[in-house]
Amino acid sequence: MESANLLLRRIVRSSVLPFAAQHGMKKYLFPFSRTLSLSLCLKQDKLCEPSEKLDLDEWKKVMKSGLQEEVSEKASEPKDLSSLAAARETLEMWRLAGRAVPENISEEQLKAFMECPSKSAKKKYLKYLHLKELHKKNDKRKMDEKRERRLEAQDQASKTDETKKSPFVCLWSSTMDKAYNWRAAQSMIFGQPLVFDMSYEKEMSAREVTNTVRQIVLSESCNRRSVDPFHIHFCNFKDDSLYHREFIKNYREAWDKLLITVTDQCYTEIFPKDKLIYLTADSPKVMKTFDHNKIYIIGSMVDKSIKTGVSLARAKRLGLETAALPLEKYLLWSTGAKNLTLDQMMHILLTLKDTADWKKALEFVPKRKYCGFVNKPVKELKKTLDLINTLKLGKRQEEVENQFAKNYPKKYKRN
Amino acid sequence: VQPPEKPLQAEEWNKLREDFQFPEIFEEVMLNAMIRCNSPIDVAKSLLTHLAKRNGDIPYNVLVKYLTLCVQQGQVSEICDVYDIMKGRFKILESGAYSLLIKGLSNSNQWKMALTLLEEVKKIMSPSRKCYESCIKAASRHQEMKLAFELYNEMLAKELVPTLDLLQSFFDISRGTKGAELQKELFGILLYLRENQIYPHKTFMRSIKLWFESLPGRKWRGRLTHIKDSGQCPVCSHQLEDSNLTEEEYSHLSERILRDVIHGTDTFRKTSPKELEAFQTFVENRLPFDIVIDGLNVSHIKSRKMQCENLFDAVNCLAKENARLLVLGRKHMLVNSSNWKREIMKEMQNKAEFFFAENISEDDAFLLYATLRSGKHCRFVTRDFLRDHKACLPDSLTRHLFRKWQRGHQISSSVFSQQPAFRYDCVVQTTGDTWHIPYKDVFEEKYSYQVPRKWLCIQQK
C-alpha cells in the first residue's frame, strides 16, 4: 500500500521513465551486435571500448532530471512545517530508511510519540505501533481469505443440494450466552466472592493499565464460562479512572450489563477482615489448599518494571493475611518471574475450586517457566535441582572446587 | 553474497539479481555486502546506475547505503553529490543520513558544511553525541578552538555524555598552544572528570601529562605513582582529600536514604511504620556505634560453617578493639535451629547490640540508617554492593555521594582480614599548584565499586 504522498511522487517521476528507457535500449543493443564479430575480445572482458564503457554517474543524471519538476512543486509549499507535520515527515523518512515505523499514524498517536521523553522511548513506541499494524494487516488478510473460501464453499453448496434439516434451530452462541449469564447471575447471589483490587493505577504506566484491563476481560470471560463461577468484585474502583476508560473501550455497551459487582469501596469495608486473603507472589506464606470460605484478593496490576513488594505492602498496611501459590513445591521452576497474569490466576483458582487438584490447576502456568511437575517431597526436589545445576555448570563446578582446594588445602581436606 | 570486483553492465546485474533469492531486496543486500567488503565505489555506482535506469528512481534506503560506503572510504565529492540529490529529492532527511553526512564531511576540507548540517539537524531533533563529536573534532582540527568549545558546552547542556576519546583529543590538540581562555576550558574538562567521577585511561592520562608539561612559562612536571594507604602522595608528599563527606553532603545523604530508600513510595514495602519507629528509638537510645554489622550477610561468609558461628567469629574479631557494635538481623535468627544455636546467640548478645527486624523486612536499609545516624566515624560490614539501594536514590549527584560514602565506610572482606575502607577520596583533585589524577590501566570500564590505584601526580616547580 502506498501512501497518497508517495503515489503522487511516482506519477510526477513517471516522466523520467521514457528517458531512462531510451538510454537503456542503446546499452542493450550494443553488446548484442558485438557478440558475433568480437566474441574473442569480449571473452577477455577487461578492455572495453570507450563507447561501451559504463557511465558510472548516470544515476545522478536520472535522479536529478526528476528533480526539476519536484523543485518547482516544492517551492509552492509553505517553507516551515508545524511540529506535528514535521514529525510526520521524519517518520516517513525513517520508514523509507527501513526502520520499524508504522505506515499510517493517527494524530493521537503522533502526539503520544512526541511526548515520549527520550529517543529510545520514541523508538520503542514506534516499534510497538509498527508491530500492531503488521498484526492488524495479517489478521485482515486472513479474514479476507477466509471469507473468500466461505463464499466459494457456499457457491458449491448451493449448486449441489438444499439445506439439511435439523430438529434444533441453530442459535448456538446466543443460547450459550443466556445459559452463562444465568449461571453468573446465580453466582452473584450464592457464589464465592473473588476480589480484584483496582488501586494500582498510580503504580502503572498507561500501557500497563491497558494490559491489565485486557487480562481482566479475559479472566471475566473464563469465569463466566466456568461451571461454578466466582462472584467477581472490582473494589477500589474509581469512576472515570484509566481503568474505567479502558474497560469501556473493551466492553462498550456491555460494561453496564456485566454480572459483576463494581464498587469504589475497599474490600475491607465489604467483607470481614479475617476472611480475606491477599494473593501475592511476594508473600512469605504458601497456600496449601483452596479454602471455599475465604475471599481471595488479586491485585489488578501488570508490573513490567519489577516493583517488588507493592501488593505485599497493601496487605501489610491493612493487616491482611497473604498467600502465594505453591509454585516451587509443585513445579521445577526454570525461568521467568513467579508473578502470573490475571487470567492465568483466574484459571488456576477456578480449577482449584472445582477439583482441588494442584497439578491440574498449575497446568495453567506457562510451560516455558518450568521444567516439569514434581510430586516428590521438597527435599528430593532440592536434590534434583542440585543435580541439574551441577550438570548445567558441568566442568566449571569442578574447576571451582579445584581452585578452592588450592587456596585452602588444609581446610578442604579436613572437611 | 559476494560483491563483484569490477563495475558490471546492466545485463550482468540483471542476471545476478534474478539468481538471488529475494530479488526485491537484492540492491540492499548487495550494498550491505559491499560495505562489509569495502568494495570500490565504482562497483556501487554501476549498481546504482543499473537501478536508476530500470526503475527511474533510487529508493532512499539504497541511497543511504551508498552514502555509508562513500563515508567509509572518505569520498568527499561523492558525499556532496549524494547530499545534493537527497536534498532535492526529499524535503527532510532522517537522523541516520544526517549523521553519516556529518561524519563524512567533518573529515574533509568541507567541514564547515558539517556544521551547517548540524544546525539543520537541530531544527528537527536533538543531534546525537556522535554528530556533535564529529563537528567538535573537525573544528578543533582546524584550530577553531572557540567554536569547538562552544559546541562542547552545548552538548553538555543537552546532557549528552562526551566520550573519553573526545576529551583526550582536546588535550592532544592544545598541546603547546598558549591562551588563557583555552587553558581554562581544559581545566574545566578536568573538573568535569572530577564531578562525574570519571577516571581517564592510560593513554588519555598521557595526553593530560604531556599537555601540562607543554604549558609555556609555568613549569609543570608529571609523574606516575601509587598513593599510600595513608593518603599521602609519595612524589610531592601532598595529603589527598579525605573521603569524608562535608557536613552538608552528609546530612543530605542521610535524609535521602531515609526518604527514598527506607520510605520510598510506600513505607510498607520495605518495613512498616511501626517497625521503623521501634528501630529509630532503639538506635537513638544507644548511639553512637562504631561498627554496624549486617548479621545475615556476614553469617554466609563461609558456607561450610554454621551460620551463627560465622557471625560469632566476625563479632569476636571486631569486638577486640573495644568498639561499640550493632548487629542487624531478622527474627528467625532467634528461633533455635540447626544453623542458629540459641547459646551462641546469647553469648553474642553480650558483646554487641542486636536488632531483629521482621522476617519480611529489609535489613539493609536499617544498616544504612544506623551507620549514617552514628556519625562519620562509624563504618559498616557487609559484602553486599548495595546497588539496589543506590538505585533508589533520585539523582546522579546523590548516587555519587552514596558511592563516595560507601567507599569510605564499608568494610567488606571474605575471610575477615578486614579490607580497610579508603581514607582518601579517589577522584581527580587539585590544589592549584598540584593535580592528582587517578587513572585506569585499560580502557574498559571497571566495576563501579572498584577504584583505580594508580595516580598521575602533576606538580608545579
In a domain, A61, yes or no: no
Task: Quickly state the pLDDT bin for B128 (edges 50, 70, 90).
Answer: very high
Average the pLDDT over B442-452 and give the result: 69
Q: Which of B53, B125, B269 sits opposite A309 (nearest CB)?
A: B269
- Measure CB to CB from residue A63 to each of B58, B126, B272 and give the nearest one: B58
Q: What is the DSSP string of B278-291?
A: HHHHHHHHHPPPSE
Is residue A51 over pLDDT 50? no
Judge if A206 and A232 occupy the same domain: yes
CB-nearest to B49 from A59, A64, A66 is A59
Over residues A186-195, the pLDDT tens digits come to: 999 999 999 9
**What is the extent of the structural domain holding A110?**
99-154
> What pLDDT band is residue A42 in, cutting at 50, 70 and 90?
very low
**Final residue in a domain of this structure, among A107, A133, A154:** A154
ipTM above 0.90, yes or no: no
Residue A33's pLDDT band, with cuts at 50, 70 and 90, is very low
Residue A13 distance to chain B (closest CA, Å): 8
Question: Are A205 and A323 members of one domain?
Answer: yes
Of chain B residues 346-405, which have a CB less than 8 A from chain A?
A: 359-360
**Domain at B247-409: CATH code:** 3.40.50.11980
Among the listed ranges A64-68, B278-282, B456-460, which one has the minimum average pLDDT value?
A64-68
Which of A26, A62, A118 best probes binding to B when mutated, by most B CB atoms within 10 angstroms?
Answer: A62
Q: pLDDT band at A378, cuts 50/70/90?
A: low
Q: Which of B120-124, B221-225, B402-406, B408-412 has the lowest mean pLDDT?
A: B408-412
Q: With 0.90 as the threshold, say if the pTM is over it.
A: no
pLDDT beyond 90 at A90: no
Looking at the complex, report in whole angstroms how far the Cα of residue A260 sits from the nearest Cα belonging to chain B. Answer: 30
Instruction: Look at A14-28, A371-385, B385-399 and tell me which has the smallest mean pLDDT.
Output: A14-28
Instruction: Identify whether the C-beta of residue B59 lies closer than 8 Å to the C-beta of residue B82.
Output: no
Every domain range in chain B assigned CATH 1.25.40.10: 10-171
Does residue A139 lie in a domain region? yes
Residues A254, A343, single domain; the answer is yes
Whether pLDDT at A379 is above 50: yes
CATH number of the domain that residue A257 is part of: 3.40.1280.30
The verdict on A352 and A247 lying in the same domain is yes
Same domain? For A104 and A196 the reply is no
If one compares A305 and A97, the residue with the highest pLDDT of the two is: A97
**pLDDT value at position A68?**
52
DSSP, collapsed to helix, strand or coil, labels residue B50 as helix
- Chain B residues with CB-CB distance to A72 below 8 A: none
Tell me the chain A residues in contact with residue B75 when contact means C-beta distances shorter than 8 Å.
none
A66 with B89: Cβ contact below 8 A: yes
Higher pLDDT, B336 or B131: B131
Query: pLDDT averaged over chain B?
Result: 86
Q: Does A395 have pLDDT greater than 80?
A: no
Percentage of the residues of chain B whose pLDDT score is greater than 90: 25
Helix locations, A161-291, DSSP H? 172-190, 206-225, 242-251, 267-270
Residue B133, pLDDT score: 94
Residues of A in contact with B69 (CB under 8 A): none
B461: helix, strand or coil: coil
Residue A312 confidence (pLDDT) above 70: yes
Together in a domain, A232 and A354: yes
The distance of A117 to chain B (nearest Cα, Å) reads 12
Does a structural domain hold residue A20?
Answer: no
Report how far residue B289's alpha carbon sits from residue B376's, in angstroms, rounded to the nearest whole number: 10
Residue B273, pLDDT above cutoff 80: yes
Q: Can you give the three-state secondary structure of A93-116, one letter per residue?
A: HHHHCCCCCCCCCCHHHHHHHHHC
pLDDT at A67 over 60: no
Domain with CATH 3.40.50.11980 in chain B: 247-409
Q: Clarify whether residues A355 and A382 are in a common domain.
A: no
Model pLDDT, residue A366 = 92
- Indicate if A141 and A240 belong to the same structural domain: no
B53 interfacial to chain A (CB closer than 8 Å) = yes
**Same domain assignment for residues A274 and A386:** no
Region A320-342: what's the mean pLDDT? 89
pLDDT at B444: 63
pLDDT of residue B166: 94
Confidence of residue A377 (pLDDT cuts 50, 70, 90): low
- Do both A268 and A315 map to the same domain? yes
A395 lies in some domain? yes
- Count of the separate structural domains present in chain A: 3
Query: What's the CATH class of domain B10-171?
Result: mainly alpha
Residues A245, A264 within the same domain: yes
| Mean pLDDT on A152-171 | 73
B389, three cell numbers: 539501594
Within 8 A of A62 by CB-CB distance, chain B residues are 49, 52-53, 56-57
The interface residues of chain B toward chain A in range 73-112, judged by CB-CB distance below 8 A, are 81, 84-85, 88-94, 96-97
A54: nearest CB among B49, B52, B94? B49
- The helix (run of H) or strand (run of E) holding residue A233 is strand A231-235
Looking at the structure, tell me whether residues A239 and A148 fall in a common domain.
Answer: no
